[in-house]
Amino acid sequence: MALTSTSLQVAAQNTGSDVSSAKDLTAVIALQGLPCGQVTKVTPRGENDFLASCQDGNRYRVFVNADGRVVVKKQ
């Protein structure tokens, strides 16, 4: 499933609200079929680039690549 940067841009706009960012990133990770449960901590790394810590102990880097696609990489 290919996600565009729209999902991640919503998370970026909500970085002032950790709850909204966590919910948005939880949805992005779940849409990729990766285990997480719920994002409990969001650490911005740059524009459209986040480190998401999950309730189950997994951590993911969620970012937009050069093609405008959302990428989720396990850390």
What are the tens digits of pLDDT across the range 3-40? Answer: 555 555 555 554 455 678 899 999 999 999 999 999 99
* Burial annotation 24-40 (CB, 10 A radius, 16+ → b, else e): bbbebbeebeeebeebe
Domain coordinates in residue numbering, the chain: 5-74
8 A C-beta contact, residue 32 and residue 1: yes
Distance CA 35, CA 12 (A): 22
**What pLDDT is recorded for position 19?**
73
Residue pLDDT, tens place only, 42-65 = 999 999 999 999 999 999 999 999
